[in-house]
Structure 1
Amino acid sequence: MIATDGRPTTTAGSPVTGHRLDVPAPSFAHLARLSDDTGLFEHARHAIVRREHGYCTDDVARGLVVTSREPEPTGAVLRLAECYLAFLTHAQDARGAFHNRLGHDRRWADESGLGDWWGRALWGLGTAVARSPAAWIREEALVAFSAGAVRRSPAPHAMAFAGLGAVEVLRRHPTHPAAAALLADAATTIGTPQGDPRWPWPQQRLTYASAALAEVVIVASQLRHDGPLLDSGLRMLAWLRDVQLRDGRLSVVPAAGWGRGAVRLRHDQQPIEVAALADACATAATVTGDPGWETGVRQAVGWFLGDNDVGTPMWDPATGGGYDGLTPHGPNLNQGAESTLALISTLQHARRWS
């Protein structure tokens, strides 16, 4: 099969129907459309970039993750990675924290800090250190990662994203002390489930990108002898996967979140949840060798291709962009950076498990 942009596709069975789904190869066409020589614009109206909303480190960092994951990047993808790396090094202050929001006028709209964007910046930098084929990208990313890895955030999500970056660095540099310490501290900040099997989660509320927390607990148990038990992370992820299934299809926790004992809403579902689950299930499959986790990856791919609560594709084949959210009436047709990055990230896993 050939995708609409001329790239080859693979096929995979729908987790629900068993029908064969044409799985497109990741396309960077819309990501390039959202990017300029400074960075990656955050928002779009349909497929048209909204420059007035500027750039954010959160998205640029995720851009560096997906461009660095490409095993044989084209020249265009490599140039995107270099642009995103330059943005992150510009966003970093002398103490290792990061600014998050840059206006189209190239002025920072915030002070540097240690929010989610700090964690995601380290995730992007760590992925570039481990996976980029370009030596100059790997070297500069390691300098910036090492400067940021000495800082700590009190927020579990920020530490989880930073921990994912630390894991990447340790795969290429197993004795990197700052990465090892950061990963251990990330797992400690996240915590492990309490004894109640009805809610095996460290926090009393699921908010966003929850699977990333379970993923860090899983990998910390493998890379640090004094890390949390592997069983704790797998129990967290198995429960999260199972509670986000409806009739065999993914029905992820919506943007409003879900608290223990509360009524769970079905919309507005966000692509970031699907991508985080795909990442975590892929990691669990690799760590454990259990092929059962591959089903979670396939379900995430299926969500984008139409195996979801509304039965509609969550991407635009004409542009390569991901839709911003799943509403009761269908997709939000805006194709911003976060949703497009989530699509690319999930399809990258499909190469291995489709």
Structure 2
Amino acid sequence: MERDANTLSLKQIAFIGNYLPRQCGIATFTADLCESVAAQYPTTKCSAVPVNDIEAGYAYPDRVRFELTEKDIDSYRRAADFLNINSIDVVSLQHEYGIFGGRAGSHILALLRELRMPIVTTLHTVLQNPDPDQCRVLKEIAALSDRLVVMSERGAEFLRDVYEVNPHKIDLIPHGIPDVSFVDPSFFKDHFGVEGKTVLLSFGLLSANKGIENVINALPAVLEKHPNVVYIVLGATHPNVLRHEGESYRLSLQRLAEDRGVEGQVIFYNRFVSSEELNEFIGASDIYITPYLDARQITSGTLAYTVGAGKAVISTPYWYAEELLADGRGALVPFRDPAALAEQIVALLDNDAERHAMRKRAYIHGRDMIWSQVAQRYMTSFERAREDHRHLTPPAFAVKPLDRRPIELPPLKLDHLLRMTDSTGMLQHALFTVPNFREGYSIDDNARALIVAVYLEELGHAAAFDLASRYMAFIAYAFNPETGRFRNFMDYGHNWLEQSGSDDSHGRALWALGTVLGRSNTPALQRIAGWLFEQAMPAILEMTSPRAWAFAILGIQAYLRRYDGDRRAAQVRDELAGRLLGLYQACRADEWRWFEDGLSYCNAVLPHALLLCGQAMPNQAMTDAGFESLLWLAELQRSAPGGGHFVPIGSNGFYRRGGERARFDQQAIEARSMVSACLEAYRLSGDERWRREVRRAFEWFLGRNDLNLPLYDPDTGGCHDGLHPDRLNENEGAESTLAFLQALLELRLPESTSSPLEVKFDQ
């Protein structure tokens, strides 16, 4: 429905996504959409918020008002502030998993959650079988958006069936295309030196999933019948591919052309062309080919452009091609089938009448896809979004009960972590806030620090890689290949104090390595972690400490989140989990629902491990034992029955069955392990009691404890080493500081902040 520009009430629209001159399809789409809306509605101010994947950014045009840094989550929050204070009427988000930072592009959620205006999200990828992170991110984007735009019926179907989106929220708007004339291909051929030739064309940023090799393999059979054919491969290598693999794919295609004897008929244009040049290349082609290798592509700008230009098209049957080329607007051939491709090319070249009829059907269909039409349909969606937003926005001053208010998180401050880290790794202890060199280093603390560094990476912190590299280097050096175990303690002079560390330190190292493998996206760290993980895992089966087993389970399960096909790792996990369950069943009584005859340190890790395994294996007995033991521990560690503040088991004597429980010294590691375990319990059950237990345990750090004294030190970002009966331990060592940081970061991670936990960030 067309809108009258003079009566339009939307004054400012901001477009978020990659933007030209960055070289990618999303950048081209965002720029074209922004410029088309601006041209159709000159009284509306259109601005852009692009995402930078390189430190220097790009030479953007004046439309760009604010720039996001892909891996810096704080830049997303600053962008939200910028858009809110600049009275933007509607935000148009271009969503693709790969362009935003965080796991599955989750950093964009930090921006969307803070926006006060309507949001219309265009989904350039809608996966039929998303992994859990992709599903979670897209579901929250859908919940935060007022309207969702897809470019195909298949995309709308997936939103309804896979992501449970209300159909009334979905707008189907085609991919925009330039408005070009229906011209004879010969008109442009002399521009490229192919006059008199029959031109086959493929274009787009080059990467191995494009399937260009199948066209080259088809050429010999085509040239037997039509020796005048040339094949143009247009487009620069994708910047991400170029950064990591160089030109290896393009060079392999050139070698293939030589091997097949068609190097004289294949022309590579290795550059990113302007829209004007692209239209001329398309105009010069007789047949356009998209030989993609995977059916799971929900849209394709290159295919939309060529259909709209009235080209004869041959494609593999990926989802978008099946839909756009229906009703005779193009021809489909099987994936990875050069013979079928050659046969179809020859058939079209042999039959001019059919080829031109296909062209005409495509061109007529494309008239509804030109940018001026698409811009009007987007404006209709924007106005619907504003109307929906007006009716759905909750009251600004809704009051929540105290236990439903967000947890107030302190700001992330790494000063003390950095002070305790030197070129070797994480130092163990501190004298007040000064590192204590006399005590040296331990793998325990470097493993904890590596987990913290991986969480920092997920949250886009600039210091993450440097820190993770140091801690990983220490862990790698600590591994003794002769024993298959890790050493633990090293003095400040870099002398190892034992050949093998404790069982628990070994389990904790496996936890850290599994976290790297399951959560980090840094290849160098993953390669080292993978080698160490493989070498060190067998030894855990020889160990007798239940906590070592639990630490290892946490690491293995983190690893299996990404590599769930590793049967050996799953078998080790299952064996360790079975041992834990056996301990619990042998020791449990109505008045003592625990794994051992005593509670000591890091207690909550035991039920935490069973909860993870019970869900993953699956094993209901493990899940039940995990919930039962964690609930018993939570009730035990309170200052009053049914309520009160968190009171961990004291380390000055611990708690033996039938004996007297130690109230002090209370350690930070207990609060951290309860936060982690109760977060997992909440994710699995959705039970509000676990959300309350997370709050109870975390607020121990902030002063809700026996002495009403905060252990977290806001001046340094560190954490005091414990709570004595009459005072704080003034030292801020590695274990306590890392315990606080790990708990804080777990509450900031996307899987926590997107839940009903309603964490509030104090920035």
TM-score using structure 1 length: 0.91
Select which of 227, 250, 254 maps to 2:650: 254
Give the direction of change, closer, same or farther, for the CA distance of 1:213–1:103 in structure 2 (3 Å limit): same
Q: Which of the pair has the greater relative contact order for Cα pairs under 8 Å at 6+ separation?
A: 1
Is the contact made by 1:184 and 1:227 (CA closer than 8 Å) also made in structure 2?
Answer: no
In structure 1, what is the equivalent of residue 496 of structure 2?
A: 108
Confirm whether residue 175 of structure 1 aligns to residue 565 of structure 2: yes
Q: Runs of 4+ in structure 1 displaced over 6 angstroms?
A: 15-21
In structure 1, what is the equivalent of residue 528 of structure 2?
A: 140
Displacement after TM superposition at 1:179 (Å) = 2.1
Select which of 22, 31, 34 maps to 2:417: 31
Specify the code of the residue in structure 1 equivalent to 2:668.
P
Q: Could you list the runs of 5+ residues in structure 2 that have no partner in the other structure?
A: 1-73, 78-400
Select which of 454, 463, 485 maps to 1:76: 463
Confirm whether residue 128 of structure 1 aligns to residue 525 of structure 2: no
Specify the code of the residue in structure 1 equivalent to 2:550.
A
Is the contact made by 1:254 and 1:268 (CA closer than 8 Å) also made in structure 2?
Answer: yes
Give the direction of change, closer, same or farther, for the CA distance of 1:225–1:337 in structure 2 (3 Å limit): same
Matched residue of 1:331: which SS? coil
Give the direction of change, closer, same or farther, for the CA distance of 1:180–1:20 in structure 2 (3 Å limit): closer
1:21-56: CA deviations, max 9, x gaps? 742133222111101111100000110000111000
Specify the code of the residue in structure 1 equivalent to 2:604.
A
1:194-235: CA deviations, max 9, x gaps? 452210112010010010011111111122246843111110
Matched residue of 1:142: which SS? helix
CA distance in 2, matches of 1:126, 1:346: 18
Select which of 53, 56, 60 maps to 2:442: 56
Give the direction of change, closer, same or farther, for the CA distance of 1:113–1:302 in structure 2 (3 Å limit): closer
Give the direction of change, closer, same or farther, for the CA distance of 1:16–1:304 in structure 2 (3 Å limit): farther
Select which of 704, 708, 717 maps to 1:320: 717
In structure 2, what is the equivalent of residue 89 of structure 1?
A: 476
Is the contact made by 2:403 and 2:692 (CA closer than 8 Å) also made in structure 1?
Answer: no
Specify the code of the residue in structure 2 equivalent to 1:60.
N
Specify the code of the residue in structure 2 equivalent to 1:212.
V
Give the direction of change, closer, same or farther, for the CA distance of 1:174–1:20 in structure 2 (3 Å limit): closer
CA distance in 2, matches of 1:236, 1:271: 20
In structure 2, what is the equivalent of residue 218 of structure 1?
A: 611
Matched residue of 1:154: which SS? coil
CA distance in 2, matches of 1:78, 1:336: 22
Give the direction of change, closer, same or farther, for the CA distance of 1:20–1:237 in structure 2 (3 Å limit): closer
Specify the code of the residue in structure 2 equivalent to 1:283.
E
Structure whose alpha-carbon radius of gyration is higher: 2
Matched residue of 1:192: which SS? helix
Is the contact made by 2:407 and 2:695 (CA closer than 8 Å) also made in structure 1?
Answer: no
CA distance in 2, matches of 1:110, 1:172: 34
Is the contact made by 1:187 and 1:228 (CA closer than 8 Å) also made in structure 2?
Answer: no
Select which of 279, 283, 292 maps to 2:680: 283
Matched residue of 1:229: which SS? helix
Give the direction of change, closer, same or farther, for the CA distance of 1:17–1:287 in structure 2 (3 Å limit): closer
1:47-72: CA deviations, max 9, x gaps? 00001110000000011111112322
Is the contact made by 1:25 and 1:348 (CA closer than 8 Å) also made in structure 2?
Answer: no
Give the direction of change, closer, same or farther, for the CA distance of 1:253–1:138 in structure 2 (3 Å limit): same
Confirm whether residue 66 of structure 1 aligns to residue 463 of structure 2: no
Displacement after TM superposition at 1:181 (Å) = 2.1
Size of the alignment, in residue pairs? 345
State how 1:148-167 maps to structure 2 within 5 Å. Answer: 148-151=536-539, 152=541, 153-167=543-557
CA distance in 1, matches of 2:726, 2:521: 43
CA distance in 2, matches of 1:254, 1:298: 20
Specify the code of the residue in structure 2 equivalent to 1:344.
L
Give the direction of change, closer, same or farther, for the CA distance of 1:154–1:304 in structure 2 (3 Å limit): same
Is the contact made by 2:614 and 2:623 (CA closer than 8 Å) also made in structure 1?
Answer: yes
CA distance in 2, matches of 1:160, 1:17: 31
CA distance in 1, matches of 2:597, 2:460: 41
CA distance in 1, matches of 2:733, 2:475: 19
1:151-177: CA deviations, max 9, x gaps? 121111111111111110111110223
Matched residue of 2:716: which SS? coil
Is the contact made by 1:298 and 1:350 (CA closer than 8 Å) also made in structure 2?
Answer: no
1:78-130: CA deviations, max 9, x gaps? 21111111111111111431000111111111112452110000001111111
1:229-277: CA deviations, max 9, x gaps? 3111110101001100113100000112101111112110000011011
Moved more, 179-188 or 138-147: 179-188
Specify the code of the residue in structure 2 equivalent to 1:167.
Q
Displacement after TM superposition at 1:189 (Å) = 2.9
Displacement after TM superposition at 1:182 (Å) = 2.3
Matched residue of 1:198: which SS? coil
TM-score using structure 2 length: 0.43
In structure 1, what is the equivalent of residue 432 of structure 2?
A: 46
Specify the code of the residue in structure 2 equivalent to 1:165.
G
Moved more, 72-81 or 274-283: 72-81
Moved more, 62-71 or 335-344: 62-71
In structure 2, what is the equivalent of residue 298 of structure 1?
A: 695
In structure 1, what is the equivalent of residue 744 of structure 2?
A: 347
Matched residue of 1:175: which SS? coil
CA distance in 1, matches of 2:681, 2:613: 12
CA distance in 1, matches of 2:465, 2:745: 16
Aligned sequence identity (%): 34
Matched residue of 2:463: which SS? helix
In structure 2, what is the equivalent of residue 11 of structure 1?
A: none
CA distance in 2, matches of 1:195, 1:341: 32
In structure 1, what is the equivalent of residue 383 of structure 2?
A: none
Displacement after TM superposition at 1:345 (Å) = 1.2
Specify the code of the residue in structure 2 equivalent to 1:335.
E
Is the contact made by 2:588 and 2:595 (CA closer than 8 Å) also made in structure 1?
Answer: no
Specify the code of the residue in structure 1 equivalent to 2:565.
T
CA distance in 1, matches of 2:467, 2:607: 30
Q: Could you list the runs of 5+ residues in structure 1 that have no partner in the other structure?
A: 1-5, 9-14
In structure 1, what is the equivalent of residue 601 of structure 2?
A: 208
CA distance in 2, matches of 1:16, 1:73: 32
Displacement after TM superposition at 1:186 (Å) = 2.1
Is the contact made by 2:455 and 2:746 (CA closer than 8 Å) also made in structure 1?
Answer: no
Is the contact made by 1:122 and 1:165 (CA closer than 8 Å) also made in structure 2?
Answer: yes
